Amino acid sequence: MHPITTFHYLALSAALLLIGTVGVLTRRNVVIILMSIELILNAVNINLIAFSHALHNVNGQIFAIFVITDAVAEAAVGLGILIALFRNKETVQADEMDLLKW
C-alpha cells in the first residue's frame, strides 16, 4: 500500500470543495446551502493542516483556527438572517426570495 502523502490530502480537499460547491449552486433550501458552505470551509482547513504537517510549520494550524472562527460567525449571522427571512416570507427556498426581481 502506498504511503499517504500531502497529495492525497490535497485531492481529498479538492473533492470536498467541489461537493460543497455543488451544494451551494444546486440546492434550493437555504439551510442546506449554509451547510454546504461549512463543507467548503472544512475543505480549506484540510488543505491548511496538510501543508502545516508537511512543512513542520504551525502557521497553517493558526490559519485554520481563524477559518473556524469565521465559520462560526458566518453560521450565527446566516442562521439569524434565515430566521428573520422565514418570519417575513414563510419560505426557506432560495429561489423564492426574489423581492428585488420584478
Partner 1 sequence: MLTDINAIVFYVFAVLVLGGGILTITQRNAVHSAISLIVSLLGVAGLYLLQQAEFLFAVQIVLYVGGIMLLFLFVIMLVNLDLAAHQRQFNKHWLVGLAAVAAVGAQVGYFMYRGKDAFHIAEGGTGLPPGLGNTEVLADSLFSEYLLPFEIASLLLLVAIVGSVVMAKKRI
∠ CA 51-57-9 to the nearest 5 degrees? Answer: 15
Q: How far apart are CA 90 and CA 14, in angstroms?
A: 36
The nearer residue to partner 1, 84 or 99, going by C-beta atoms, is 84
SS3 87: helix
Residue 61 makes contact with partner 1 by CB under 8 A: yes
Q: How far apart are CA 85 and CA 30, in angstroms?
A: 10
Residue 66 makes contact with partner 1 by CB under 8 A: yes
How many residues bind partner 1 (CB under 8 A)? The answer is 74
Closest residue by Cα to residue 94 from 38, 28, 44, 49: 28
Q: How far is the CB of 101 from partner 1 (least distance, A)?
A: 14
Residue 89 makes contact with partner 1 by CB under 8 A: no
The nearer residue to partner 1, 88 or 102, going by C-beta atoms, is 88
Q: How far is the CB of 102 from partner 1 (least distance, A)?
A: 18
